[in-house]
Every structure is written in structure tokens, then in C-alpha cells.
Structure 1
Amino acid sequence: MSESVQVHMPSQPVAPAPQFTQLLSATRHGARLARLLTVEQIALWGWPRDSERAEAAAVVVAELAANAVAHGRLPGRGFRLSLILLPDSRLRVEITDPRGDRLPVVSRVPDEGGRGLVIVDALAADWGVRPYPPSGKTVWAEVCPARQCP
């Protein structure tokens, strides 16, 4: 006697999370462009441009992109901006640079670097860093669409 296995398939395919990715030059202009592109993309996804959360997302991108330019730069290499609208409506920001040997450090000392990450920590629901093989890293942050995260 043979057994049959039933697999339940949803009637509608699950759509992938909306994403935006752009390679940018590791310059101040590239970091500024990352912020501008973020504002445009999240507006297309329905976040009001003048909302507190849209501004928070723009500032998070600006800080992470500035760090990629200042600390993650290698000659001839840029950085990548990725934006992912997660199913719970959080915005996941990812900045990938080629310097995996230089990990972000949060500093609350006035004359040291790392203060931008204090801002990221204050504005993002969560953030972190992961390796990007073979030699880079991705610094990510998640911003909620409303004042409080679900």
C-alpha cells in the first residue's frame, strides 16, 4: 500500500519583499546620493516624505554611507546601498563596503569617531554588521514606519 503526501500550496504566490539596490562611488557625492535615493524610494513605497520616520531613514542612510566612504573605502571600489521593505513594513537599510577588516565602533567620547553610530542606534529599531565575503562587510539597520515598531 502506498502513502500519499499532500503538500499545501497557497493559492496566491508570495511576492518577494520590495527591494532597491544601487552601487555608488565611495565619495561624499555618493553618500549624499544614497540619502536622496532613499528618500525617493521610500516615497514610492508609500512613506510620506515629510514624516518623522522618512527623515529617520534618510539620516540612518546618510550616517552609514558616510561611514562607508570614510572607513570602508578602497581605491577603485564603491559601496552598495540596498533598501528592503520587510513584510512588517520595516525598512531594512544595508550599506556594503569592501573593508571587512574595519568594523564599526560606537563611541560616546566627543573627540573620537563613531558618533554617527550613536545616531543610528537612536533612530533604528535594530542594527548590526555582518561579513560580506570575500573581504567586505554589510552594516544594516531597520527603521520602523511608525513611531513604535510592531
Structure 2
Amino acid sequence: MKSATPSDRHMQKCLAPARSFEMRFTSSPRGARLARRLVAHRLHEWGHPYEGSLNETVTLLAAELAANAVRHGHVPGRDFHLRLIEGRDGVRLEVSDTRTERLPESRPPQDPAADESGRGLLLVEALADRWGVEPRSPGKCVWAEVRPSPATPR
């Protein structure tokens, strides 16, 4: 079972950040698209090739979390924030928005046909080794961690 919402200190112990990238994006489909592309590019620069499984997985997670921030976390006049952290044990992706009243479920619905929303979180649940939601002021941060597979070159 995957975890939900440990503290930032827990992440720092587990991943021991070596490199990071962060940026604010307009809360629009164009901003979400740019966030996804920059995540793929940054991972490639860090030695995780575009066609590698870690790059593809984290880029897909970035696409989903950025789209969710735009669709469900949009507050007029506010951007969303993305942070990518690479450590010796894997990569952590954080996407923050300023909307506090709409929090994702810590466990996505098991029957995607029963609910119109939450399907993207099934993808996050399947791809991330761990993911969760943390409050922030204002808003929330949805994060996902991915550890490289043993066959993934560094």
C-alpha cells in the first residue's frame, strides 16, 4: 500500500535532495503543458533520458498533477507552483495551488465509472511509489515520489 502525506522532513531524509527545479506557471492549459515539457527536459538534463522509464513516469505525473491544479485548483489571478527534486533515492514532484476548499481524496475511487472525477488520481496511484497531499498557506501541495527501477541507468 502506498503512503499518504508524510512531512517534508520525511522526504528530505528519504530522498536527500541533490538537485531541484521550481517554477510558477499560469493556471491555464498552456501553463500545464509548459510545466510537463520542462519537467521532461530537466530530467533529461539530469541524466534521465526522455525515453527512459523514470522520465516518462515523472513527466506523466507532472502532466496529471498540473492539469488537476489548472482544472480543480484554479483561483483567478493565481498561478500554480511546481517543484522537482532529484535525490539519490529517486525523484519527488510537487504541484501546489492556492485553492484550499478542494482537496483530492487520499485514496482515489476504485471504480472509475462510478465517479466523473478522480480518474487521474488512479493514474497517480498506479505510477507513483508514494503520493499524498499536504496543506500549505494558501492552498495545498500534491506530491508524488518515484524511485528508479533497478534497470534504470543513472
TM-score, scaled to structure 2: 0.81
Change (3 A) 1:16 1:60: closer
Secondary structure in 2 matching 1:48: coil
Q: Post-superposition shift, 1:22?
A: 0.6
**Is it true that 1:41 corresponds to 2:45 in the alignment?**
no
Counterpart residue identity of residue 146, structure 1: S
Contact 2:64–2:120, Cα closer than 8 Å, also in 1: yes
Contact 2:134–2:141, Cα closer than 8 Å, also in 1: yes
Gaps of 5+ in 2: 1-15
Q: Is the deviation greater in 104-113 or in 45-54?
A: 104-113
Secondary structure in 2 matching 1:121: helix
Gaps of 5+ in 1: 1-14
Structure 2 counterpart of 1:129: 133
Aligned length: 133
Query: What is the percent sequence identity of the aligned residues?
Result: 47
Contact 2:72–2:102, Cα closer than 8 Å, also in 1: yes
The separation in 2 between residues aligned to 1:66 and 1:101, in whole angstroms, is 17
Q: Is the deviation greater in 46-55 or in 103-112?
A: 103-112
Counterpart residue identity of residue 56, structure 2: E
Structure 2 counterpart of 1:145: 148
Contact 2:17–2:87, Cα closer than 8 Å, also in 1: no
Contact 1:53–1:145, Cα closer than 8 Å, also in 2: yes
Greater relative CO, 1 or 2 (CA 8 Å, sep 6+):
2
The separation in 2 between residues aligned to 1:48 and 1:144, in whole angstroms, is 15
Q: Post-superposition shift, 1:17?
A: 2.3
TM-score, scaled to structure 1: 0.83
Q: Post-superposition shift, 1:48?
A: 1.5
Structure 2 counterpart of 1:100: 100
Change (3 A) 1:139 1:147: farther
Q: Kindly name which structure, 1 or 2, has the bigger radius of gyration based on alpha carbons.
A: 1
Counterpart residue identity of residue 52, structure 2: S
Structure 2 counterpart of 1:4: none
Give 4+ residue runs of structure 1 displaced > 6 Å after superposition.
none
Q: Post-superposition shift, 1:49?
A: 1.1
Structure 2 counterpart of 1:21: 22
Q: Which residues in structure 2 correspond to 1:104-115 (within 5 Å)?
A: 104-105=104-105, 106-107=108-109, 108-110=111-113, 111-115=115-119
**Is it true that 1:62 corresponds to 2:63 in the alignment?**
yes
Counterpart residue identity of residue 139, structure 2: G
Taking only aligned residues, the RMSD between alpha carbons, in angstroms, comes to: 1.9
